[in-house]
A = this chain, B = another copy of it.
Amino acid sequence: MIIVMQNTATKEMVDHIVKMVKEHGLKTEVMHGESRVAIGVLGDRTKLEEGNVIRLPGVKEVLKVSKAYKKVSREYKVDDTVVEVAGSVKFGGDNPAVIIAGPCTVETQEQVIEIAHGVKKLGAQMLRGGAFKPRSSPYSFQGHGLDGLKMLKKAGQEVGLPVISEIMSTDYLGDFMEHVDMLQIGARNMQNFDLLKAVSKVKKPVLLKRGMSATVEEFLLAAEYILAGGNDQVVLCERGIRTFEQSTRNILDLNSLALVKEISHLPIIADPSHAAGRYDIVPALGLAGLAVGADGLIIEVHNKPSEALCDGKQSLTFETLEKFMKQAKAFI
């Protein structure tokens, strides 16, 4: 249940309601939006009579939250959440779309620094790079691990870009807290609930990718785990879903991106690289993502795609990124 207060409601009115709700054995959370104050009520709502609440001074309306997710919904918080990374990059609200770029995998210190310079010059605001890689086969390259994280951090510092990398296990949370500016939870771990709970307890923004066959509701509930645990600095990421169609790696689901922007206040970006799986249609999908209102893009870029240890097929070169950034300007 969400109790929405009138514009004219005083602090006393709000306090009175909070006290009353707590007396019924329920928790509250007061949300101060630009346009209104709302009081979220958590717990068994049958304990509270809606008809009684609506008659209290200052109450405008009482919303029943029918969906399983609460804190991620616009019913709970009307205004866009803005997620800030490293004090400089801002996702969501009226901020221009953020471009995150970098290699699939951190291969060498030289490679990641060269790519960092390249993408920064072309307008990227954050640097991505995998250190711990989720690979379908145990025989595929699994990433440089902690060394990779350190190389990524150094590259970011050298060019002045905040960095993001994927965390696969709670075992390394300390290292990630030290070396990256934003934690990425990958598609395969979207419902790794222990990991979600762990990142909900830290003070670091999280990029949460949608699972490849997760419904919108499951996606938002995964984010709800993070918000429920205390971390509201979450950026969502649509990265393509698995369907019957296999001529491209996945299908970028812009229906859901558009829908999420309506039902949630969290920023959401698109990952055209993993959605496409082939470089030639990455720019087109990136533009489509921006057109539909994405708050940013995360794009794989490599200095020598044909020699990449991973995902070379879907990585852009500096040349194609440059061309893309020019086209994208209309939207950013």
Chain A residues proximal to chain B, CB less than 8 Å: 42, 68-70, 134-139, 168-171, 188-189, 191-194, 212-213, 215-218, 221-222, 224-225, 228-229, 240-248, 250-256, 258-259, 262, 275-276, 280-281, 284-285, 287-293, 330-331
Contact = CB atoms under 8 A, between A and B. Distances in A.
B221 A136 contact: yes
Contacts of A241: 243-245, 251
12 contacts: A70-B139, A136-B218, A136-B222, A138-B225, A215-B245, A216-B247, A241-B245, A243-B244, A243-B253, A244-B244, A245-B256, A252-B254
Interface centre among A216, A218, A250, A287 (most CB of B within 10 A): A287
Contacts of A330: 330
B254 A254 contact: yes
Nearest to A290: B291
Contacts of A242: 213, 244
A255 B228 contact: no
A70 B139 CA distance: 10
Nearest to A140: B68
Nearest 3 interchain pairs by C-beta: A213-B213, A291-B291, A258-B281
B253 A251 contact: yes
Nearest to A67: B137
B69 A137 contact: yes
B245 A288 contact: no
B168 A171 contact: no
A318 B132 CA distance: 47
A288 B254 contact: yes
Chain B CB within 10 A, most for which of A171, A194, A241: A194
Contact of A215 (B240, B244, B275, B290): B244
Given A216-B245, A280-B262, A137 B68 contact: yes
Contacts of A188: 191-192
| Most interface-central of A212, A229, A240 (chain B CB within 10 A) | A212
Contacts of A229: 138
A188 B191 CA distance: 6
B292 A284 contact: yes
Given A168-B193, A213-B212, A258 B285 contact: yes
A218 B187 CA distance: 14
Contacts of A170: 169, 171
A204 to B, nearest CB: 19
Contacts of A256: 245, 247-248, 251
